[in-house]
Amino acid sequence: ASIDTTAVAAHTGISAECIRKIATDFLQARHAVAYGRMGVSTQIFGSLAQWLLQLVNLYAGQLDAEGGSLPNEPAIPLTGPGTQAGSYGRWKSRVRGLPELSGELPVATLIDEIETPGAGQIRALLTVAGNPVLSTPNGQRLDAALGQLDFMISIDVYINETTRHADLILPPAWFLSQPHFDLIFNGFAVRRYARLSPPIHVQAADECADWQIANRLASALAAATGREWRDLPAPRELIQAGLARGPSGVTLADLDAAPHGIDLGPLQPSLLRRLQTASGNIECAPPLMLQELERARCCFASVATEDPTLLRLIGRRELRNNNSWMHNAARLIKGKPRHQLWMHPDDLRARGLLDGMRVQVCSKVGKVVTEVRADADLMPGVVSLPHGYGHTGPGVRLTLAGQLAGVSINDLTDPSLLDGASGNAALNGVPVSVAAAVAD
């Protein structure tokens, strides 16, 4: 069905004429790309939005094309030939019936699985270098749920909002004592490149790296439950095995001999050669995405009935505070405060608020109080809080982070809001109200 650009214009603030011009210019351009990352992905139609972006590129002849959307083919492949196929819906979560995706369940249902009694209830938890109390939906409720566990282990160097609940904290050896080969970001690189970073610090005899800790825990669990366990290989062995699966021909010895890395050349079209679909073709209309498209149409039709006083909350990440742990590094927290709620001046005036005031932000699941900052670049009807703040809980031992003002955006995000296809938490687009904070 065709999309009514006039209706879209009213929803986005971009005129129908401008939308049509963008589409025409895109189709006529020699080189163009439709591209979206974090903000596009972490909302209730994240998978659908990414799928539609690739359909636009495909229709315009810009998919897997120089000057368009050209995926990298890294030396260690994460998808395509030589890698495991994903899975969907082989089993479902106990409480909410959410489908697994490649062996994982949505983190947004972790709270339910801890709180809800019955067979299969989560009573123990292992976390590794994570802080889900600050980084996943409804952090306050998760914080309380973690306190109900029978046992918890954290492999971590910090006592943070999550690890404070652990019965055992197992700090690993310094990461610079281990070899490093990047897997994730090589897949986003604009040139093919491979580099092995050798250790620059000697691991002490009484230290264990994180992978060694994992092996020892798994071995002990297997022995206690009568199961078989085979230790994970050392990192260098894993890197060598990954290189052997890829098409580059690069070996571990090659990387050892090239401390500054190996240039594998510019990106080349490779998508068709790497396809692993059952048909061997690009499958443009998978049933799951068509279901999501219909869900989006229904959701779009209901927008007119929403409470007009509500605002849409989105997150933000800045260079020096991408993740919550960065707030405990002195060099990264210098400068002006960056914790404020951003709001368009028109929305401030409509609520009788002033720039710099303390405001209360309320969602379906929680409320926080913070300072507001006027930002005319923000779309009216949208407010923004940064990710990773809120280091004031009891038992947290983050000396520098604990001195920072700011609240956790995930005390407002709702675990019931998910991307329908992947189950990913919808951390953007959360309905909230904003009003002046009541003085204590």
Which tens digits make up the pLDDT trace of 257-314? 999 999 999 999 999 889 988 888 999 999 999 999 999 988 887 776 788 899 999 9
Q: What is residue 440's predicted lDDT score, i.e. its pLDDT?
A: 60
Extended beta strands in 69-228, E state = 88-92, 99-101, 124-128, 151-155, 168-169, 191-194
- Residues 109, 113, 119, 122, CA torsion sign: positive
Task: Return the axis-axis angle of helices 16-28 and 5-12, rounded to nearest 10°.
Answer: 110
Q: What is the mean pLDDT of residues 157-173?
A: 97
Q: Which of 155, 185, 151, 179 is nearest to 165 (CA)?
A: 151
CATH 3.30.1330.10 corresponds to the domain 88-263: no
> Over the stretch 87-142, which tens digit does the pLDDT of each residue have?
999 999 999 999 999 999 999 999 999 999 999 999 999 999 999 999 999 999 99
Extended beta strands in 268-397, E state = 311-316, 341-343, 358-362, 367-374, 382-386
Q: Which of 168, 170, 171, 196 is nearest to 182 (CA)?
A: 196
> Could you give phi then psi for residue 360, rounded to 5 degrees?
-105, 125
Q: Are 72 and 189 in contact (CB under 8 A)?
A: yes
24, 164, 395 from 329: Cα distances, Å: 47, 19, 19
- Extract the tokens encoding 351: 């609520």
pLDDT above 90 for 8:
no
**Domain 308-436: which CATH class?**
mainly beta
- Extract the tokens encoding 391: 């280091």
pLDDT above 90 for 438:
no
Q: At 66, is the pLDDT very low, low, confident or very high (cuts 50, 70, 90)? A: very high
> Over the stretch 184-242, which tens digit does the pLDDT of each residue have?
999 989 999 999 999 999 999 999 999 999 999 999 999 999 999 999 999 999 999 99
pLDDT above 80 for 1:
no
Per-domain residue ranges for the chain? 6-75+270-288, 88-263, 308-436
Q: Which of 329, 353, 325 is nearest to 437 (CA)?
A: 353
Percent with pLDDT over 90 in the chain: 81
> Over the stretch 12-46, which tens digit does the pLDDT of each residue have?
889 999 999 999 999 999 999 999 988 899 999 99
Q: Are 45 and 21 in contact (CB under 8 A)?
A: no
Q: At 2, is the pLDDT very low, low, confident or very high (cuts 50, 70, 90)? A: low
Q: What is residue 118's predicted lDDT score, i.e. its pLDDT?
A: 97
Q: What is residue 119's predicted lDDT score, i.e. its pLDDT?
A: 97
Q: What is residue 416's predicted lDDT score, i.e. its pLDDT?
A: 96
The whole-angstrom separation of Cα 75 and Cα 344 is 45
Q: Are 129 and 156 in contact (CB under 8 A)?
A: yes
Q: What is residue 305's predicted lDDT score, i.e. its pLDDT?
A: 73
Q: Tell me how far the alpha carbon of residue 74 is from its chain's centroid.
A: 21
The whole-angstrom separation of Cα 356 and Cα 341 is 10
Q: What is residue 83's predicted lDDT score, i.e. its pLDDT?
A: 87
pLDDT above 90 for 318:
no
> How many CB atoms sit inside 10 A of residue 407's CB?
21
Task: Calculate the average pLDDT of the chain.
Answer: 94
Gyration radius from the chain CA atoms: 24
The whole-angstrom separation of Cα 158 and Cα 20 is 51
The contacts of residue 412 (CB under 8 Å, 6+ apart) are: 313, 361, 362, 363, 365, 366, 367, 368, 385, 430, 432
Q: What is residue 146's predicted lDDT score, i.e. its pLDDT?
A: 98
The whole-angstrom separation of Cα 116 and Cα 176 is 41
Burial of 71-93, coded b for 16+ CB within 10 Å and e otherwise, reads bbbbbbbebbeeeeeeeeeeeeb
Beta bridge partners of residue 430, listed in sequence order: 313
Q: Are 271 and 63 in contact (CB under 8 A)?
A: yes
